[in-house]
């Protein structure tokens, strides 16, 4: 089964040269793309289109020049369409996209995890937990989008550091707990602890928000919205 791999809508910064890609897997391996076309739509109108680059053994790619998007407004209603030739058949895939002033980047690295857990340095391959750092960030971006926030409008990426750190550690603990015997091992005991700490840190986040995409924050909002019931409390008589 052919499966595209991406975790959220794409944020495409205006004014920089960059390469966007779309990995497509056939089982556990990258599918071989022999040709294809990339098209960027706003609504139903084509904004950018061109042939993709598909080096053998890599993802399909399309490269933007630094000025290609200068005439396009910052907005969230864009859509990528990838028409890829795989195994002699054309597979058309879509991904929502936004044209943005800036991309929200993570600030947690492997070194941050090592500061809390030096025993991670005993793992032969650092990539064993780098994957969990990446996955944690994907989940954070999805949670923001699911709550109605636009990640590209958040200007204080450092606000996510603690939540990202503890979510990554919870995923690392889940991964390492699978090698332990029983349910009382070192990493097994840390799974719930780090999940709870992640929830706590998320509840403390205050976003600095650039609502008009001018590059400067103009409002703040909590990552976890506060809901108020309407109307006065009802008095009960007994």
- Over the stretch 49-61, which tens digit does the pLDDT of each residue have? 999 988 767 789 9
pLDDT at 237 over 90: no
Q: What is the mean pLDDT of residues 205-209?
A: 93
Model pLDDT, residue 187: 86
Give yes or no for a contact between 78 and 47, defined as CB atoms under 8 angstroms apart. Answer: yes
In whole angstroms, what is the distance from residue 235 CA to residue 238 CA? 10
Give yes or no for a contact between 38 and 80, defined as CB atoms under 8 angstroms apart. Answer: yes
Q: What is the mean pLDDT of residues 126-150?
A: 87
- Count the residues in the chain: 238
**H-assigned helices in the chain:** 110-116, 127-146, 161-177, 186-203
Global pTM reads 0.84
For the chain, give every domain's residue range. Answer: 2-100, 110-222
Tens of pLDDT, residue by residue over 30-42, are 999 999 999 999 9
Burial of 41 (0-12, 13-18, 19+ CB in 10 A): middle
Model pLDDT, residue 12: 96
pLDDT at 126 over 80: no
Model pLDDT, residue 234: 43
Model pLDDT, residue 44: 93
Percent of the chain whose predicted confidence (pLDDT) is above 90: 63
Model pLDDT, residue 125: 57
The CATH superfamily of 2-100 is Immunoglobulins (2.60.40.10)
pLDDT at 227 over 60: no
Tens of pLDDT, residue by residue over 165-187, are 999 999 999 988 877 666 668 88
Tens of pLDDT, residue by residue over 75-109, are 999 999 999 999 999 999 999 999 999 999 999 99
């Amino acid at each position: 089964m052919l499966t595209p791999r991406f975790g959220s809508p794409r944020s495409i910064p205006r004014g920089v040269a960059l390469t966007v890609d779309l990995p497509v897997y056939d089982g556990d391996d990258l599918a071989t793309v022999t040709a294809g076309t990339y098209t960027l739509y706003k609504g139903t109108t084509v904004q950018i289109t061109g042939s993709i680059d598909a080096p053998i053994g890599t993802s399909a790619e399309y490269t933007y020049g630094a000025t290609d998007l200068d005439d396009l407004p910052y907005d969230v209603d864009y859509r990528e369409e990838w028409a890829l030739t795989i195994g002699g058949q054309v597979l058309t895939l879509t991904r929502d996209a936004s044209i943005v002033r800036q991309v929200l980047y993570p600030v947690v690295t492997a070194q941050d995890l090592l500061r809390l857990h030096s025993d991670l340095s005993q793992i032969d391959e650092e990539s064993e937990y780098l994957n969990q750092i990446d996955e944690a960030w994907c989940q954070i971006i999805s949670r923001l989008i699911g709550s109605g926030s636009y990640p590209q409008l958040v200007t204080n990426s450092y606000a996510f550091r603690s939540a990202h750190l503890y979510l990554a550690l919870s995923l690392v603990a889940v991964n390492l707990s699978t090698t332990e015997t029983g349910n009382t091992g070192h990493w097994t005991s840390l799974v719930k602890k780090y999940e709870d700490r992640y929830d706590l840190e998320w509840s403390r986040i205050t976003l600095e928000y650039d609502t008009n995409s001018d590059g400067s924050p103009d409002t703040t909002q909590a990552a976890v919205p506060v809901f108020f019931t309407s109307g006065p409390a009802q008095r009960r008589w007994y």
